[in-house]
Amino acid sequence: MLPPGSRAGAGLGARQGLIMRPDDANIAGNVHGGTILKMIEEAGAIISTRHCNSQAGEPCVAALARVERTDFLSPMCIGEVANVSAEITYTSRHSVEVQVNVMSENILTGAKKLTNKATLWYVPLSLKNVNKVLEVPPIQYARKEQEDEGKKRYEEQKLDRLETKQRNGDVILPVINPEPHTVGYSQSSLIHLVGPSDCTLLGFVHGGVTMKLMDEVAGIVAARHCKTNIVTASVDAINFHEKIKKGCVITVSGRMTFTSNKSMEIEVFVDADPFVDEPRERYRAVSAFFTYVSLSKEGKPLPVPQLLTETEDEKRRFEEGKGRYLQTKAKRQAQMQQAAQQ
């Protein structure tokens, strides 16, 4: 028998009333994309962990495996309240798909707006054995089509994760005296020692903590390139390839891969160096592409300086980024046309 409330769309992880403070935002008062990503992940972790423990069995914690493309639809500012809600939309045997929405609220006027929609995938890990993935209690679907659509999304993300992992051998090397607007000029890295406050009950880093650090590095890359106020516009799929354990030293690296007239694509990856308990070679733990836009003091979009590519690898990555940009643009236009026809 299914546990009460275990139906598709059950909003078990709703969370409300987080006021945005100055330390959540940049110098222009726009809330950091990483802050919002962290809130999204926390809501997803709550609902998926609750669901995976809703039936009698081994206790577990839901670990983030992947975040699908996330668009930042509208900026959130200091003083606004972030309302985060989550619902389970699909379960496979060993994973949970969670849909998270973020609404911003101006508490002076009562005005509300949707700022983010995100889809996340979690897997349940046993509290007794962190390498053991447990089975997920199934959910009920209102229509058979919901289950079929969810299964299709599951297969697509599974394939994409495999392809991403296979091309994750790149490293970022320092460049001596780089020219402005080149890849080497803006590339950045951040080194962080993973402590207890960064981790789950299992002693592994929260996905939201990792995403916040990634957004911070991507923001530095974007700011160095255009030297203006910048904000996160979207995040392509974030793949969590391996867990990061407490005591690891992680290196978060970012480099610009593509620029359009008004946006910048930045590749970010996280490498982990385990030093405590089980020394092993450095490994690639997480990877993603972030897109940023440049804004004026009035919050209007500004032209982005063209990225100057120098090596064959940089030119190849630029063309790959251009392909992703055009694909996303075509998809957005198709969605707008479809909405206009309805």
CA distances from 55 to 48, 95, 99, 181 (A): 13, 15, 22, 55
DSSP letter for 76, please: -
Taking the C-alpha atoms of residue 202 and residue 54, their distance in angstroms, rounded to an integer, is 19
| Other Cβ atoms within 10 Å of 37 Cβ, number | 28
Contact in structure between 285 and 244 (CB atoms under 8 Å): yes
Catalytic residue selected from 26, 71, 160, 168:
26
Half-sphere exposure of 131 (CA within 13 A, CB side): 0
Contact in structure between 111 and 104 (CB atoms under 8 Å): no
Taking the C-alpha atoms of residue 203 and residue 186, their distance in angstroms, rounded to an integer, is 33
- Listed in sequence order, the residues at least 6 apart from 173 whose beta carbon sits closer than 8 Å to its beta carbon are none
Catalytic residue selected from 198, 215, 236, 271:
215
- Single-letter code of the amino acid located at 45: A
DSSP letter for 59, please: -
Concerning whether 26 is annotated as a catalytic residue, the answer is yes
- DSSP assignments along 104-136, one per residue: EE-TTT--EEEEEEEEEEEEEEESS-TTPBPPP
Closest C-alpha to 139, from 8, 1, 4: 8
Contact in structure between 118 and 70 (CB atoms under 8 Å): yes
Which of helix, strand or coil describes residue 61? strand
Tell me the H-state helices in 138-206: 144-166, 183-186
Catalytic residue numbers, as ranges:
26, 215
